[in-house]
Amino acid sequence: MQLPYLTASSRVRMSPFTARVEAAGVQAYTTYNHMLLPTIFRSPLEDYAHLKSAVQVWDVAGERQVEIRGPDALKLVQMTTPRDISRMKDDQCFYIPNVDENGGMMNDPVLLKLDAERYWVSLADSDMLYYYKGLANGLGLNVEIFEPDVSPLAVQGPKAGTLIGRVFGEDVVATRFFRHTQVEIAGKPMVIARSGWSLQGGFEIYLEGSEHGEHLWDLLFDAGADLDVRAGCPCTIERIEGGLLSYGNDMTLEHTPFEAGLGKYCNLDTATSCLGHAALVQKREPTRQIRPVEISGDAVPALRAPWPVSTPSGEPVGFVSSAAWSPDFNTNVAIAMVDRAHWTAGTELQVQTPAGLQGLLVRDRYWV
Ligand code: THG
């Protein structure tokens, strides 16, 4: 089934790269933080195969930054996350759950520490800017909070290091995973991190100054022509294979980090100033949790709402939140929230997809 067309307007923001993305033949968009986010260039399967064999440039400007600067910056960010960020280094990136007072997931951003009094919260798709402003103003904290003119451009794929080396030098390629360093673009220092929403490895360039977007894009494409560099985008098939979660799909405000399988990012012994701390202590042992699951039978259609999961006798036990046909693993790869009594690897369940009832097998790990 074909989704209806997405109507354009200023409210659905363009990115500094949109002109180049459209010249490259983007075929579909979703929205992310009220900005266009490309989803298909040639076809989902062609984009997937290319991501895993070459190098792609992704317009992920929709991963908007909340800049928090001032003497209370650390205090404010720590109030929103159960991950202990007190010992973060000035060149570090942390994947953090953002939770409310009930321990419900509000976002799962990448946090960048720029210096002791300056952070970027690189958001998933929810309006955290207003939450941070509300907290800071309500408590009279000494911070400035705003959305800077910063737009991430991801370079992902097995040849990402080759391309980045050509454009920015081998020192940049040597940056460690989830660390950032600086490069000069259009004569301005900008942040580049070893990170990205794929399992193929790569970098994210935090473009500062929208006016330089097309220049940066062209630098990468000019240097990578012989590498078959292409415009790409986050790939649903590949990110499910690797177990990267999507906020709003795999978890929402209704789920704790423990239910989302993000318990390893919760330091309840030390992150006691997190506003959700007391709730999370109570909710440490979840009664449902995210699981990698395999769906048997034909290739599943696109998921537009969670698909109900039940036992063979029809008892409801959870939902599939993301699913796609994987050519490389020759099966439907999926992520589901499953009740505790049924979440053991090897458990056979069933799922109601728009195409009918299909078998579902709980796995013990993701595919890569
Ligand atoms: N990059 C940046 N901002 C982002 C994303 C990104 N904001 C939105 C969204 N993606 C946030 N969600 C994630 C989810 C997973 C990861 C990164 C961002 C990720 N996880 C690794 C994993 O699970 O294997 C490693 C996490 C770790 O070791 O700390 O990379 O992609 N700028």
CATH number of the domain encompassing residue 208: 3.30.1360.120
Q: What is the pLDDT of residue 322?
A: 98
Q: Same domain for 301 and 338?
A: yes
Helix (H) or strand (E) holding 309: strand 307-310
Is 116 in a helix, a strand, or coil? coil
Range of the domain at 127: 65-146
Q: Same domain for 44 and 76?
A: no
Please tell me the distance from the alpha carbon of residue 333 to that of residue 363, in angstroms, as a whole number: 10
Residue 11 forms part of a structural domain: no
Contacting residues for 205 by C-beta, under 8 A, at least 6 apart: 152, 153, 154, 155, 183, 185, 190, 191, 192, 216
| Overall number of domains in the chain | 3
Residue 3 forms part of a structural domain: no
Residues lining ligand 1, Cβ inside 6 A: 63, 95, 108-110, 122-124, 152, 178, 195-197, 204, 244-245
Instruction: Please choose from 244, 245, 266 the residue to mutate so as to test ligand 1's pocket, defined by most ligand atoms within 8 A of CB.
Output: 244
Q: What is the pLDDT of residue 4?
A: 83
Q: Same domain for 48 and 112?
A: no
Is 106 in a helix, a strand, or coil? strand
Instruction: Please choose from 66, 96, 110 the residue to mutate so as to test ligand 1's pocket, defined by most ligand atoms within 8 A of CB.
Output: 110
Residue 326 forms part of a structural domain: yes
Q: What burial letters (b/e) apply to 174-204, b meaning 16+ CB within 10 Å?
A: ebeeebbbebebeeeebbbbbbbbbbbbbbb
Residue 267 forms part of a structural domain: no
Ligand 1 centroid to 280 CA: how many Å? 22
Beta strands at 56-59 and 230-232: parallel, antiparallel or unpaired: parallel
Residue 331 forms part of a structural domain: yes
Q: Same domain for 352 and 296?
A: yes
Ligand 1 closest atom vs CA 123: 7
Residue 271 forms part of a structural domain: no
- Of the residues 146, 173, 193, the one at which a domain ends: 146
Please tell me the distance from the alpha carbon of residue 164 to that of residue 227, in angstroms, as a whole number: 12
Q: In this structure, what are the phi and psi dihedrals at residue 192, rounded to the nearest 5 degrees?
A: -130, 135
Ligand 1 closest atom vs CA 112: 32
Residue 187 forms part of a structural domain: yes
Ligand 1 centroid to 109 CA: how many Å? 7
Q: What is the pLDDT of residue 1?
A: 55
Ligand 1 centroid to 37 CA: how many Å? 16
State the burial class of residue 356 (Cβ atoms within 10 Å of its Cβ: 0-12, 13-18, 19+): exposed
Instruction: Please choose from 15, 64, 95 the residue to mutate so as to test ligand 1's pocket, defined by most ligand atoms within 8 A of CB.
Output: 95
Q: Same domain for 118 and 189?
A: no
Q: Same domain for 130 and 105?
A: yes
Residue 245 forms part of a structural domain: no
Q: Same domain for 318 and 343?
A: yes
Ligand 1 centroid to 140 CA: how many Å? 31
Instruction: Please choose from 195, 208, 241, 335 the residue to mutate so as to test ligand 1's pocket, defined by most ligand atoms within 8 A of CB.
Output: 195
Q: The domain that contains 142 carries what CATH number?
A: 3.30.70.1400
Identify the residue whose C-alpha is closest to ligand 1 atom 17.
197
Q: What is the pLDDT of residue 91?
A: 98
Ligand 1 centroid to 113 CA: how many Å? 15
Ligand 1 centroid to 108 CA: how many Å? 8
Contacting residues for 292 by C-beta, under 8 A, at least 6 apart: 243, 333, 334, 335, 362, 363, 364, 365, 366, 367
* pLDDT tens by residue, the chain, 368 residues: 567 889 999 999 999 999 999 999 999 999 999 999 999 999 999 999 999 999 999 999 999 999 999 999 999 999 999 999 999 999 999 999 999 999 999 999 999 999 999 999 999 999 999 999 999 999 999 999 999 999 999 999 999 999 999 999 999 999 999 999 999 999 999 999 999 999 999 999 999 999 999 999 999 999 999 999 999 999 999 999 999 999 999 999 999 999 999 999 999 999 999 999 999 999 999 999 999 999 999 999 999 999 999 999 999 999 999 999 999 999 999 999 999 999 999 999 999 999 999 999 999 999 99
Identify the residue whose C-alpha is closest to ligand 1 atom 25.
95
Q: Are 43 and 72 in contact (CB under 8 A)?
A: no
Q: Same domain for 54 and 134?
A: no
Ligand 1 centroid to 95 CA: how many Å? 6
Q: Same domain for 158 and 184?
A: yes
Ligand 1 centroid to 356 CA: how many Å? 33
Q: Same domain for 46 and 167?
A: yes
- Output the CA–CA distances (angstroms, integers) from residue 130 to 102, 177, 252, 354, in the order listed: 18, 30, 17, 36
Ligand 1 centroid to 191 CA: how many Å? 16
